[in-house]
């Protein structure tokens, strides 16, 4: 095809590549739905376990179905012993690199290894949902020379995650906020990591491979890293009254304000408001209201940019919540991954169920018909 006949879609922006029954996003109106249920209702009334069930099975569970699913998740929390050795070997790397390595290694220990049926893929994905929090927390313990905290067999998913940080049971409010954060992060259409996971599944590779690749895609700052950068920015701002000048300086140097803007949302990210309330309450409760005030100062300073479709996104408020819960900054992206496993799982299942190799084209812009010169004659 002649180059003037080719239409390039760099970054695949605006390109539909398949159909999905999982997540709906209307970026102009700021709407997000999982399986037809509005994210506002799920954030308000659901739990991570129920939302994960909804994503995986397509319907809200009955109490009996939810109890069974919850037991399946709790039963899968313990990690195979050898995974601790794998984590120990790479413990000095960034937690996302450790998570990627450990998830890849988990494939070798999975009882349904090699089975790519939808049923086995769902079982394996559910096991990963339970195991990933344990990997993140075990690594954090091992790198500090401590023994990993054994997972609780009774606490809910979010409360257990917080519990494994230091072995202290979290307050109900802290656990509920973490739970809400996981609900809000559980899936998000064809973002870079889900698309990567689908591309891997498109070759008929398995869910561990797809999730490993998804973790790699998520680790980059344009995708998962914004919450970490927002926290850094809040620390640099230091006091609420410095926020406006800080933002002005950034923008006049043509730098981006982290936690603002989105490839798909040109209205406010519907997930942000739930975490905004969370930061407000948590920072007041912990006697550190300045964090919320600093963030609000940044939001005020960014108001003129709303006209250009640059609004606050989910990562803007997430970082401060993680910080106030005692997580170091390099665990912020892994926390995003903890919430995202059900989304990656169901997208891999969808991909495998009506599979097609994902193989777009590149427009070649190099040279043609060059003469091959033997190495002895090259100058």
Give me the active site residues, please.
262, 315
Per DSSP, the residues of 303-358 read GGGGGGT--B-HHHHHHHHHHHTT--GGGHHHHHHHHHHHHHHHHHHHHHHT----
Among 226, 247, 318, 346, binds ligand COA (CB under 6 A): 226
- Provide the 3-class DSSP secondary structure of residue 260: strand
- Edge-to-edge strands of the sheet including 37-38? 23-26, 31-34, 37-38
Q: Give the 3-state secondary structure of residue 22.
A: coil
Residue nearest to ligand COA as judged by C-beta position: 261
- Which span sits near ligand COA by CB under 6 A: 103-111, 139-147, 312-320, 350-358? 312-320
**Cα separation of 291 and 282, whole Å?**
10
Q: In this structure, are residues 33 and 39 in contact, taking their beta carbons and an 8 Å threshold? A: yes
For the chain, what's the residue count? 379
Question: Which member of 71, 153, 171, 222 binds ligand COA (CB under 6 A)?
Answer: 222
Distance separating alpha carbons of residues 346 and 351, to the nearest angstrom: 8
Structure tokens that stand for 25 in this block: 């996003």
* Tokens of residue 83, six digits: 């995974």
Among 53, 84, 195, 260, binds ligand COA (CB under 6 A): 260
| Binding piece for ligand COA, criterion CB under 6 A, among 254-262, 330-338, 339-347, 349-357 | 254-262
Q: With CB under 6 A as the contact rule, which of the stretches 24-32, 131-139, 211-219, 307-315 interacts with ligand COA? A: 307-315
Binding residues with ligand COA: total (CB under 6 A): 14
Binding mask 171-210 for ligand COA (x = CB under 6 A): ----------------------------------------
Q: How far is the CB of 301 from ligand COA (least distance, A)?
A: 11
* Choices 67-75, 196-204, 308-316, 326-334; region in contact with ligand COA by CB under 6 A: 308-316
Tell me if 283 contacts ligand COA by CB under 6 A.
no
> How many other CB atoms are there within 10 angstroms of residue 346's CB atom?
28
Residue 224 tokens read as: 């998962």
Residue with tokens 């002005």: 248
Least distance to ligand COA, CB of residue 173, Å: 25
Of residues 256, 281, 300, 356, which one binds ligand COA by CB under 6 A? 256
- Structure tokens given for 96: 């996302």
User: Could you give the angle at the alpha carbon of 185 between the alpha carbons of 82 and 45, nearest 5°?
Assistant: 115
Closest to 80 (Cα-Cα) out of 138, 159, 162: 138
Secondary structure element (H or E) that encloses residue 31, with its range: strand 31-34
Interface residue with ligand COA among 30, 133, 134, 261 (CB under 6 A) is 261
Q: Which is nearer to ligand COA, 246 or 260 (CB)?
A: 260
Nearer to ligand COA, 84 or 322 (CB): 322
Q: Residue 177 or 258: which CB sits closer to ligand COA?
A: 258
Nearer to ligand COA, 148 or 224 (CB): 224
Question: Is 254 or 359 the residue whose CB approaches ligand COA more closely?
Answer: 254
Looking at residues 65 to 124 of the shown chain, list those that interact with ligand COA (rule: CB under 6 A): none
How far apart CA 181 and CA 196 sit, in angstroms, is 23
Residues 336-365 close enough to bind ligand COA by CB under 6 A: none
- The CB density around residue 121, as the number of other CB atoms within 10 Å, is 24
Smaller CB distance to ligand COA: residue 315 or 350? 315
For binding to ligand COA (CB under 6 A), which residues are involved?
A: 222, 226, 256-263, 310, 313-315
């Amino acid at each position: 095809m002649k180059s003037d006949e080719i239409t390039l879609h760099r970054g695949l922006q605006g390109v539909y590549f398949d159909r999905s029954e999982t997540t709906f996003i209307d970026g102009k109106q700021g709407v997000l739905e999982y399986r037809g249920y509005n994210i506002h209702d799920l954030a308000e009334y659901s739990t991570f376990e129920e939302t994960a069930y909804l994503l995986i099975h397509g319907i809200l569970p009955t109490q009996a179905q939810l109890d069974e699913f919850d037991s399946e998740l709790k039963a899968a929390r313990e990690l195979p012993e050898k995974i601790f050795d794998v984590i120990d070997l790479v413990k000095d790397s960034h937690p996302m690199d450790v998570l990627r390595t450990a998830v890849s290694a988990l494939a070798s220990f999975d009882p349904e290894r090699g089975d790519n049926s939808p049923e086995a893929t769902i079982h394996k994905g559910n096991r990963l949902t339970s195991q990933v929090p344990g990997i993140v927390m075990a690594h954090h313990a091992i790198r500090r020379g401590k023994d990993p905290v054994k997972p609780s067999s009774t606490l809910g998913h979010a409360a257990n995650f917080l519990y494994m940080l230091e072995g202290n049971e979290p307050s109900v409010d802290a656990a509920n906020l973490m739970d809400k954060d996981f609900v809000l992060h559980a899936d998000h259409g064809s973002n870079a990591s889900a698309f990567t996971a689908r591309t891997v599944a498109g070759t008929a590779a398995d869910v561990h491979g797809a999730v490993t690749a998804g973790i790699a895609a998520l680790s980059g700052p344009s995708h998962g890293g914004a919450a970490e950068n927002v926290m850094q920015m809040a620390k640099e701002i230091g006091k609420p009254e410095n926020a406006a000048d800080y933002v002005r300086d950034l923008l006049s140097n043509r730098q981006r304000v982290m936690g603002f803007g989105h490839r798909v949302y040109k209205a406010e990210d519907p997930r942000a408001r739930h975490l905004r309330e969370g930061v407000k309450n948590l920072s007041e409760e912990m006697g550190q209201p300045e964090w919320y005030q600093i963030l609000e100062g940044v939001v005020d300073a960014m108001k003129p940019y709303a006209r250009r479709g640059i609004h606050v996104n989910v990562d803007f408020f997430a970082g401060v919540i993680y910080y106030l819960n005692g997580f170091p900054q390099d665990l912020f992206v892994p926390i995003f991954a903890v919430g995202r496993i059900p989304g990656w799982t169901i997208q891999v299942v969808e991909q495998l169920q009506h599979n097609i190799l994902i193989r777009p084209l590149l427009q070649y812009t190099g040279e043609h018909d060059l003469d091959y010169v033997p190495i002895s004659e090259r100058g």
